Amino acid sequence: MKFSIQKDRFAQSVQDVLKAISSRTTIPILTGVKIDATEEGIKLTGSDSDISIESFIPKEEEGKIIVEVQQTGSIVLNARFFNEIVKKLPSEKAEIEVVSSFQTVIRSGQAEFSLNGLDPDEYPHLPQIEEGEVFKLPTDLLKALIRQTVFAVSTSETRPILTGVNWRMEEGQLFCIATDSHRLAWRKATVETEANAEYNVVIPGKSLNELSKILDDTQELVEIVITDNQVLFRAKHLLFYSRLLEGNYPDTSRLIPTDSKTRLKLNTKEFLQAIDRASLLAREGRNNVVKLSMIDNEMIEISSNSPEIGKVTEQVRSGEIEGEEIKISFSAKYMMDALKVLEGTEINIQFTGAMRPFVIRPENDDSILQLILPVRTY
Amino acid sequence: MKFSIQKDRFAQSVQDVLKAISSRTTIPILTGVKIDATEEGIKLTGSDSDISIESFIPKEEEGKIIVEVQQTGSIVLNARFFNEIVKKLPSEKAEIEVVSSFQTVIRSGQAEFSLNGLDPDEYPHLPQIEEGEVFKLPTDLLKALIRQTVFAVSTSETRPILTGVNWRMEEGQLFCIATDSHRLAWRKATVETEANAEYNVVIPGKSLNELSKILDDTQELVEIVITDNQVLFRAKHLLFYSRLLEGNYPDTSRLIPTDSKTRLKLNTKEFLQAIDRASLLAREGRNNVVKLSMIDNEMIEISSNSPEIGKVTEQVRSGEIEGEEIKISFSAKYMMDALKVLEGTEINIQFTGAMRPFVIRPENDDSILQLILPVRTY
């Protein structure tokens, strides 16, 4: 294997596949990045067996020569060192050559690195995904779907299925749902799909987080292929594979109340900042709990109390208050997480009682909702 | 005590004195920030008993009213919470009032915090420094003196005196010296001083680091007062006290070689980057060691070798090579630390043998030098 390549483009691709590579893997070859030089260009692969990322660098891009392959071939190089080296190469160009029994030389300017590589034949094969039904999402919408749900997955392995986000496709609508059983994030989107495909899968939260980091904020379409145990996201020159979680995701539709006894309209930013201030003193106390109560039909009060340190109260004006009076306590963290991902300047909160889950929605937008379970304090 | 104050100005001062406050202190009252409201303005104090910082906010600044004191008095408030609260206050103004037995109310906009304070009479007194001899340094020069020496102090408590920077004043010249016994940083500066004062003190590295963080990059003069066991830095509205380290600082002048057998001239940035690349593979091996050797009378070679991972060699052009051929090994980290603080595009390195300390100086500047002890490998 021997090729020369534009350093910056190469460094970006190495950085991308590195996101799949864990230094704590028990399979030594997976600490490496696999490099394949073919007549078409350079393919880089990184994997931790849950997530696999493939990045392709074509010989030419926009009429500019990026790669020159003198000899095709493959090698696996320690990902952490290789990444550091590529980033710091002195010249704009790098030359990579396997000289003997996996020993690989990297030349750039006056610098020459020699790395002990590993046998590329020992590198595991990526999942084979049959090119069946495909659906497409613009990259920025995909990133929004992830951002607005993935924060609510469970971080505990007690119920492993809850560490993933449930993706259900029904009648051309994609529903993304995450819950850690204390709060729930729900988002739907209309999807470009060829057939009337129906899916019901659970994608690990970690995979979605890593995917989101790699994708740029563009409107280019990402192709998504779902099989029994794998999902593949295909963007330009990038393949992102993740395994799916096994098991049945709980039916969350029953959790979302359909009626309400109290309804509040609030300015999102003002409310978020008031919760943030109240949480300053709540953090030390019982699990970051703040209280919300009504003062009159225009004002609510946010408060928290941490006997050793002090207390805080703040009044927030509500655009509209309807229904029964309510006093309710909840986690400031869950509320802030939810408010941060809701778009729009105004939100509605619907309560059905101090001990029942309540729902937060942006004003005039039914594509997203956040649900939080209250905490018993009164 | 009762006053109202501009939030941003207040938050900045709280932030400054916070740098002296440690949450790991064994003296509970020192986790607090002391607030004194007087007819002149507000004084904030933070201390960990090694470092004490006092920040003063005058009633008026540039014709603008900053503070209005309704009732003078003092209180001590938990610094961590108070800092978080002040930063996040909703309005541009804050009102602080001690309502009863140290309970303190902070009002801003619609938010009201109530914090349990501590008795200000229990707060330790700051060191009393006699206004004796004073010398002055422009803030930016003071920050340069710190930055160019403090990185070389010892981080080990084996010889506590080496955790500080030696400041010696002789004949209107200030010498700042730091060493961890493997490398040494030396800097001198001419100083504005009234009398022909002579000092020889050791200032804790930690104190100098914190001082440097608080000071802005201006040319305003900082007044420095040195006593037997304390140093005081006085900037506009800011007092920074540090205890001095006890004991005699070793005489380092003998360590600096006066002759040389080999002399190299190098481009600082090119050399730094080559060392950085060589250190990529050196980190895993023996203590981050790289080798420098001569190729001919124009080129040197930097190399390192880590048998399990690989090796790197790089040639660097030297502007001038004089004297005996040399092969020498040294810590890449020490070399990078030294090069980063040397100003100027070109440096001279002077060797007196492969096992003797060598000296790095900027071309045409005798106010600074860095000394590194080599590592035995050949």
Residue A78: CATH number of its domain: 3.10.150.10
For residue B347, the cross-strand partners are B266, B362
Alpha carbon A2 to its chain's center: 36
Whole domain around residue A245: which residue ranges?
134-253
Cβ–Cβ contact A102 with B under 8 A: no
Grouping H, G, I as helix, E, B as strand and the rest as coil, residue B13 is helix
Residues B138 and B36 in one domain: no
Residues A72 and A172 in one domain: no
Are residues B242 and B139 part of one domain? yes
**Final residue in a domain of this structure, among B200, B234, B252:** B252
Instruction: List the beta bridge partners of residue B262.
Output: B323, B351
Same domain, yes or no: B296 and B348 = yes
Q: Is the pLDDT of residue B307 over 90?
A: no
Q: Which two tokens stand for residue B294?
A: 């001569």
Task: Give domain status of residue A377, yes or no.
Answer: no
Are A228 and A277 part of one and the same domain?
no
CB of A347 within 8 A of CB of A266?
Answer: yes
**Burial class of residue A259 in the structure, from the number of CB atoms within 10 Å of its CB (0-12 exposed, 13-18 middle, 19+ buried):** exposed
**Could you read off the pLDDT of A27-53 as tens digits, one per residue?**
999 999 999 999 999 999 999 989 999
User: Which of A112, A270, A275, A306 to mutate: most B Cβ within 10 Å?
Assistant: A112
Q: In A, which residues are within 8 Å of B276 by CB distance? A: 88
The whole-number pLDDT of residue A284 equals 62
* Closest in A88, A116, A277 to B280, CB measured: A88
Going across the sheet that includes B41-47, the strands are B73-78, B32-37, B41-47, B51-58, B238-243, B230-235, B221-226, B134-138, B192-193
What residues contact B183, with CB distance under 8 A and at least 6 apart? B152, B331, B334, B337, B338, B370, B371, B372, B373
Decide if A127 is inside a domain.
Answer: no
Residue in A closest to B111 by C-alpha: A314
Report the pLDDT value the prediction gives residue A86, as an integer from 0 to 100. Answer: 97
Domain co-membership, B107 together with B147: no
Domain match, B9 and B96 both:
yes
Which pLDDT score is estimated for A319?
A: 87
Which residue in chain B is spatially nearest to A310 when comparing CA positions? B115
For residues B107 and B192, membership in a common domain is answered with no
**Same domain assignment for residues B110 and B181:** no
Residue B129 lies in a domain: no
CA-nearest residue to A89 within chain B is B277
Q: Is residue B210 part of a domain?
A: yes
End-to-end CA distance of chain B: 70
Q: What is the mean pLDDT of residues B323-337?
A: 95
Q: Does A118 touch chain B (CB under 8 A)?
A: no
Selected for mutation to probe chain B from A83, A104, A281, A305 (highest B CB count within 10 Å) is: A281
- In residues, how long is chain B? 378
B6 and B107 in a single domain? The answer is: yes
- Mutate which: B96, B102, B114, vs A, most A CBs within 10 A: B114
Structural domain includes residue A339: yes
Average pLDDT over residues B24-50: 94
Question: How much of chain B, in percent, has pLDDT values that exceed 90?
Answer: 82
Distance from CA of B83 to the nearest CA of A (A): 10
Residue finishing a domain among A226, A253, A280? A253
B chain contacts of residue A78, beta-carbon cutoff 8 Å: 309
Chain A CB within 8 Å of residue B152 CB = no
Banded model confidence at residue A192, pLDDT cuts 50, 70, 90: confident
Query: For chain B, how many structural domains are there in total?
Result: 3
User: In the listed set A122, A154, A179, which residue is the last one of a domain according to the structure?
Assistant: A122
Residue B46 to residue B21: CA distance in whole angstroms: 6
**A 73-92 residues with CB below 8 A of B?**
78, 81, 84-85, 88-90
CB-closest option in A81, A276, A311 to B280: A81
With 0-12 / 13-18 / 19 or more C-beta atoms within 10 angstroms meaning exposed / middle / buried, residue B83 is buried
The tokens 């379970």 sit on which residue? A373
A256 HSE (CA, 13 A, CB side): 19
pLDDT of residue A271: 97
Query: Do B172 and B221 reside in the same domain of the chain?
Result: yes
> Does A38 map to a domain?
yes
Question: What value does the mean pLDDT of chain B take?
Answer: 93
For residue A249, is it within any domain? yes
Q: Cα–Cα distances in Å, from A53 out to A20, A140, B151?
A: 6, 19, 41
Q: Is the pLDDT of residue A233 over 90?
A: yes
The answer to whether residue B310 neighbours chain A at the CB level (below 8 Å) is yes
Residue B146 within any structural domain of the chain: yes
Domain check: are B307 and B353 in the same one?
Answer: yes
* Strand B358-362, strand B192-193: pairing: unpaired
Mean pLDDT for the stretch of residues A190-205: 87
| Whether B177 contacts B249, CB under 8 Å | yes
Inter-chain touch A114–B88, beta carbons under 8 Å: no
Query: Reduced to 3 states, what is the DSSP secondary structure of residue A14?
Result: helix
Write the DSSP assignment of B268-315 as a string of letters. HHHHHHHHHHHHHHHTTSSTTEEEEEESSSSEEEEEEEETTTEEEEEE
Using alpha carbons, select from A224, A49, A184 the residue that is nearest to residue A124.
A49
**ipTM, interface predicted TM-score of the complex:** 0.87
Q: Is A112 at the interface with chain B, CB within 8 A?
A: yes
Q: Please tell me if residue B273 touches chain A, with a CB cutoff of 8 Å.
A: yes
pLDDT tens for each residue of A113-166: 999 999 999 999 988 887 777 899 999 999 999 999 999 999 999 999 999 999
Is the predicted pLDDT of residue A174 greater than 70, yes or no?
yes
| Mean pLDDT of the A298-313 span | 92
Does the pLDDT at position A22 exceed 70? Answer: yes
pLDDT at A285: 55
In chain A, % helix, strand, coil (3-state, to 5) comes to 20, 45, 35
Mean pLDDT of B184-193: 92
Query: pLDDT-derived band of residue A169, with 50, 70 and 90 as boundaries?
Result: very high
pLDDT at A293 over 80: yes
Query: A286 pLDDT band (50/70/90 cuts)?
Result: low
CATH number at residue A264: 3.70.10.10
Would the pLDDT of B133 be above 90?
no
Mean local confidence (pLDDT), A295-319:
93
